């Protein structure tokens, strides 16, 4: 099957090259049939790559260790779902996932635009297939996912235990979907610039694809944040790590584009700027992929180079040079039709929003690439830490939140005093009330930035609430519908506008969560014995008893031994929650004779965080059982004497399966001893307010995005009508 896999990759590359040629030839010579053939190449690529994905996934599911990728990242003890996800934990597998998602999303985009923008689509098709050709070339010549082991091992190395989390199933595909989706607005922008057609139709199509990529990437980023908060025990959801930043930068730029494109739509302004934003966001998405692959920057996501740096630099250079060339040579078509009338207008608010988003992106870019910059300037590589990022991003984020309340209600062209009074009286009053509450009712007065953010967020919520209220009232006056129905039909009739408002609401809620949880978090790191308790903020946490499991770990990740604790959380003597943090132990990658018991648990140890979330606060606990260090590996395990005893009682001469069986029985004895007479354990205990608001805000943003992206009823009716007329014309033609 590996040969079939290789063949599939070669076919995919040929399909890409053919499609590029066909689409370009068709466009140059006005040959519709060739253009169609180019379009079908995209569908064909999707089918071929799906076949490649299936071949590789089958190898993972069937534990076929003759594949290098399977042997390196999966094992018989890895649970089925994680074997499926192990495919994209290898470099070559993740590249295949990347190009596969690209082919799927490209097919969708090319299908949706099959009857529109006839002059632009052939070029867009060839750009998309160009990306496809780049990645399939990597897969064919540099890093094949179907590489074979020289000798087939009996078992693989296993999926890294830290990746055995449900997020592994969804976070990478979402993030990659976001990254690959950015190729679509890029392709359409390049196509439109080549044929010098940046009109309303182009905006409509590009905007929708940009919104989809923005949404996917946003979900991917949030899922990653949640994963690092929940599973990895990094104790936080954001750390300004290069790979996190790499995902955030294109997201910020496309946020800017989604706003400024409205000015182009309404006023014919900012065309050069918008084209640059689309091209820039996609280039940054490739820069993000490059950062992940090349190991050029030291990130906690540790990608120790794979020789893919040079091709990626070449791709990025081509994208930048091509974009600059196209924008410069097409500047005449991109000339503004109007200029800014007043600094107090929606255009100005959007412009400021754009400047701040691009500024944020610049700050993050500078901080992320600072190790390279300082290396070039001073000769030593140096890094800037989270405080440096916070110093710039916090004030910029505050202004952004405030603008997300101003933008939706300020008038286009020129705001008058009467208009301002009408729209801003309530939001300003709400922000004022929040400021008073911050120093009286809600105990947040000790942190000024948090108070400012809460006031800004209240301002946004009030201004958007007011918009919804006014819209519903106007709708009711016209149609005399019941209020919920009026609200619904108002949103349905103007999905983009109200979808945008919902997104702003979500962002305000998200920032409330970020501000509260980063400022008012209580954290304790200490060692406790059974029966002892400690205070974390207003909560008392008591180590009630120790727990242990052999093989059947509660989180179903395939751990051989799990040692945990039961913590009882109370507040003012009243019961609040029970937390069950645990540490999972996994087998070492190879089992040495005479050390069976030790090696069954001397692989990576992973903390399973216990989390109780509510709207008000999160209680978070992680445990590291304190024992002794296994001298053979340096890994922490409890009760070394028992482990050693286990190994000495199992005779090395017995057959391997018998040895293993005896070792598991010894593991049971260790688990039992740990439960009955537990040694002290080291705990990290956190109580953090309003963390759930971050995820809730994310969900609201997603809801808003979906509302905005959904085709309006009129468009669907129009399409049906168009199809009907086409049929009639066809019938008439036949008659």
Partner 1 sequence: MTHPRKRHVRLVVSLTLAVLLASGLIYTSFAASDPALTPSQLLARGRDGGNVQLTGTVVKRSITNHADGVVDFRLADRAGDGVSVPVVYSGSVPAAFATGRELIVTGRLHGGAFDAQPGSMITKCPSKYSAAPNGSA
- Contacts to partner 1 from residues 599-628, by CB under 8 A: 604-607, 622, 624, 626, 628
* Minimum distance, C-beta of residue 64 to partner 1, in the bound complex (Å): 18
- Asked whether the beta carbons of 455 and 434 are under 8 A apart, the reply is yes
d(C-alpha 250, C-alpha 281), whole Å: 5
665-684 residues in contact with partner 1 (CB under 8 A) are 682-684
| Least distance (Å) between residue 112 CB and partner 1 | 33
Beta strand spans in 537-680 (E): 539-550, 561-571, 574-579, 582-585, 605-608, 610-613, 617-625, 628-629, 636-637
- Sequence-ordered alpha helix ranges (H) in 605-687: 640-649, 656-676
Rounded Cα distance between 547 and 559, Å, is 15
Cβ 214 to partner 1 shortest distance, Å: 24
Give the one residue of 83, 271, 293, 475 binding partner 1; rule: CB under 8 A.
293
Region near partner 1 per CB under 8 A, out of 42-50, 264-272, 339-347, 416-424: 339-347
Q: Which is nearer to partner 1, 115 or 629 (CB)?
A: 629
CB of 88 to partner 1, least distance (A): 9
Nearer to partner 1, 467 or 604 (CB): 604
Q: Which of residues 145-164 bind partner 1 (CB under 8 A)?
A: 160, 162-163
Q: Exactly one of 18, 25, 303, 710 binds partner 1 (CB under 8 A); which one?
A: 303
Supply the minimum distance, in Å, between the C-beta of residue 584 and partner 1: 10
- Least distance (Å) between residue 12 CB and partner 1: 20
- Given the complex with partner 1, which of 233 and 594 has the nearer CB atom? 233
Binding status of residue 629 toward partner 1 by CB under 8 A? yes
Nearer to partner 1, 423 or 547 (CB): 547
Which one of the spans 11-19, 235-243, 465-473, 710-718 is the region binding partner 1 (CB under 8 A)?
235-243
Establish if 239 lies at the interface with partner 1 (CB under 8 A). Answer: yes
CA dihedral sign, ordered 689, 690, 692, 694: negative
In contact, 146 and 71? CB cutoff 8 Å: no
CA distances from 531 to 210, 409, 678, 683 (A): 56, 58, 11, 14
Q: Which stretch binds partner 1 (CB under 8 A): 110-118, 231-239, 315-323, 423-431?
A: 231-239
CB of 630 to partner 1, least distance (A): 9
Contact 682, 525 (CB under 8 A): yes
Residue among 122 and 581 whose Cβ is closer to partner 1: 581
> Smallest distance from the beta carbon of 635 to partner 1, in angstroms?
6
The sign of the torsion formed by the CA atoms of 671, 532, 692, 88 equals: negative
CA-based nearest residue to 100, from 189, 192, 172: 172
Burial 492-518 (b: 16+ CB within 10 A, else e): eebbbbbbbbbbbbbbbbbbbbbbbbb
State the minimum distance, in angstroms, from the CB of residue 583 to partner 1: 8
Task: Mark residue 447 as left, alpha or beta (left: phi above 0; alpha: psi -120 to 50; beta: remaining).
Answer: beta
Task: Give the C-alpha separation, 538 to 520, whole Å.
Answer: 12
User: Could you say which residues in the range 501-540 bind partner 1, by CB under 8 A?
Assistant: 525-527
Stretch of 379-387, 401-409, 566-574, 646-654 lying at the interface with partner 1 (CB under 8 A): 379-387
CB of 392 to partner 1, least distance (A): 7
Does 307 sit near partner 1 (CB under 8 A)?
yes
Q: Which stretch binds partner 1 (CB under 8 A): 11-19, 338-346, 453-461, 592-600?
A: 338-346
Interface size with partner 1, residues (CB under 8 A): 73
Between 315 and 606, CB nearer to partner 1:
606
Q: What is the smallest separation between the CB atom of 524 and partner 1, expressed in angstroms?
A: 9
Residue 234: half-sphere exposure toward Cβ, Cα within 13 Å: 16
C-alpha closest to that of 233 among 697, 683, 691, 696: 683
CB 538 within 8 A of CB 574: no
Quote the strand ranges of 192-277, DSSP E. Answer: none
359 binding partner 1? (CB under 8 A): yes
338: which residues sit within 8 A by CB, 6+ positions away?
267, 268, 269
Considering only residues 90 to 109 of the shown chain, the ones binding partner 1 according to CB under 8 A are 90-91, 94
Smallest separation, CB 689 to partner 1 (Å): 20
From candidates 151, 154, 304, 440, binder to partner 1 by CB under 8 A: 304
> Is there binding between residue 68 and partner 1 (CB under 8 A)?
yes
Three-state SS string over 464-485 comes to: HHHHHHHHHHHHHHHHCCCHHH
Q: Is 391 in the site for partner 1 (CB under 8 A)?
A: yes
Cβ-based neighbours of 547, under 8 Å, separated by 6 or more = 562, 563, 564, 565, 566, 580, 582, 675
Is the distance from CB of 349 to CB of 410 less than 8 angstroms?
yes
Of residues 462 and 601, the one with the C-beta less far from partner 1: 601
Tell me which stretch binds partner 1 (CB under 8 A): 38-46, 106-114, 634-642, 687-695: 634-642
Q: Choose between 161 and 646: whose C-beta lies nearer to partner 1.
A: 161
Does 298 contact partner 1 by CB under 8 A?
A: yes
Among 63, 318, 381, 570, binds partner 1 (CB under 8 A): 381
Least distance between partner 1 and beta carbon 576 (Å)? 23
For 731, other C-beta atoms within 10 Å of its C-beta total 9
d(CA 395, CA 99): 38
Please say which residue, 374 or 494, places its beta carbon nearer to partner 1.
374
């Amino acid at each position: 099957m590996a040969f079939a896999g290789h063949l599939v990759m070669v076919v995919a590359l040929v399909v890409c090259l053919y499609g590029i040629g066909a689409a370009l030839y068709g466009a140059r010579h006005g040959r519709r049939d060739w253009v169609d053939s180019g379009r079908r190449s995209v569908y064909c690529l999707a089918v071929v790559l799906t076949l490649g994905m299936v071949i590789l996934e089958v190898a993972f599911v069937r534990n076929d260790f003759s594949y290098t990728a399977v042997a390196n990242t999966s094992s018989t003890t890895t649970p089925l779902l994680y074997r499926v996800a192990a495919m994209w934990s290898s470099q070559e597998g993740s590249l295949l996932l990347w190009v596969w998602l690209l082919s799927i999303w490209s097919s969708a985009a090319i299908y949706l635009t099959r009857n529109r923008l006839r002059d632009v689509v052939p070029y867009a098709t060839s750009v998309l297939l160009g990306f496809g050709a780049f990645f399939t070339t990597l897969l064919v010549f540099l890093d094949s996912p179907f590489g074979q082991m020289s000798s087939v091992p009996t078992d693989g190395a296993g999926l890294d235990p830290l990746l055995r989390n449900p997020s592994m199933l969804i976070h990478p595909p979402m993030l990659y979907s976001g990254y690959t989706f950015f190729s679509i607005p890029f392709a359409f922008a390049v196509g439109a610039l080549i044929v010098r057609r940046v009109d309303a139709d182009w905006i409509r199509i590009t905007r929708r694809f940009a919104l989809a990529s923005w949404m996917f990437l946003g979900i991917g980023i949030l899922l990653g944040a949640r994963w690092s908060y929940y599973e990895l025990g990094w104790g936080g959801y954001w750390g300004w790590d290069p790979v996190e930043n790499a995902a955030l930068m294109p997201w910020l730029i496309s946020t800017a584009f989604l706003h400024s494109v409205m000015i182009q739509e309404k006023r014919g302004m900012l065309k050069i700027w918008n084209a640059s934003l689309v091209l820039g966001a996609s280039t940054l998405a490739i820069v993000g992929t490059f950062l992940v692959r090349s190991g050029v920057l030291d990130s906690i996501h540790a990608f120790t180079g794979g020789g893919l740096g040079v091709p990626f630099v070449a791709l990025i250079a081509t994208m930048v040079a091509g974009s600059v060339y196209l924008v410069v040579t097409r500047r005449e078509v991109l000339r503004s039709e109007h200029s800014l009338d007043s600094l107090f207008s929606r255009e100005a608010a959007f412009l400021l929003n754009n400047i701040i988003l691009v500024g944020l992106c610049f700050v993050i870019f500078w901080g992320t690439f600072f190790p390279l910059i300082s290396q070039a300037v001073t000769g030593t590589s140096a890094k800037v830490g989270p405080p440096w990022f916070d110093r710039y991003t916090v004030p910029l984020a505050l202004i952004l939140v405030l603008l997300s309340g101003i933008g939706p209600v300020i008038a286009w062209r020129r705001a008058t005093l009467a208009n301002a009074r009408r729209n801003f009286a309530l939001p300003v009053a709400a922000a004022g009330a929040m400021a008073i509450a911050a120093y009286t009712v809600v105990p947040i007065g000790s942190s000024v930035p948090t108070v400012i953010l809460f006031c800004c967020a209240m301002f946004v919520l009030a201004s958007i609430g007011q918009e919804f209220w006014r819209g519903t009232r106007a709708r009711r006056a016209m149609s005399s519908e019941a209020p919920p129905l009026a609200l619904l039909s108002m949103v349905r009739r103007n999905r983009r506008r109200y979808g945008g408002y919902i997104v702003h609401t979500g962002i305000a809620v998200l920032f409330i969560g970020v501000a509260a949880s980063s400022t008012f978090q209580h954290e304790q790191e200490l060692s406790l014995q059974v029966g002892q308790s400690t205070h974390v903020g207003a909560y008392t946490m008591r180590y009630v008893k120790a727990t242990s499991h052999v093989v059947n770990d509660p989180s179903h990740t395939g751990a051989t031994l799990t040692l945990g604790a039961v913590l009882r959380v109370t507040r003012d003597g009243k019961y609040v929650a029970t937390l069950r943090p645990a540490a999972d132990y996994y087998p070492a990658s190879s089992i040495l004779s005479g050390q069976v018991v030790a090696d069954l648990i001397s692989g990576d140890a992973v903390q399973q965080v216990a989390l109780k979330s509510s709207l008000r606060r999160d209680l978070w606990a992680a445990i590291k059982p304190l024992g002794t260090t296994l001298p053979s590996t340096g890994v922490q395990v409890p009760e070394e004497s028992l482990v050693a005893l286990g190994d000495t009682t199992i005779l090395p001469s017995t057959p391997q399966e018998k040895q293993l069986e005896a070792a598991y029985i010894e593991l049971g004895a260790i688990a039992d001893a740990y439960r009955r007479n537990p040694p002290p354990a080291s705990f990290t205990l956190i109580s953090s307010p309003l963390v759930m608001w971050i995820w809730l805000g994310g969900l609201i943003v997603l809801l808003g995005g979906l509302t905005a992206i959904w085709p309006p009823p009129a468009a669907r009716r129009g399409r049906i009508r168009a199809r009907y007329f086409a049929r009639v014309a066809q019938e008439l033609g036949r008659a």
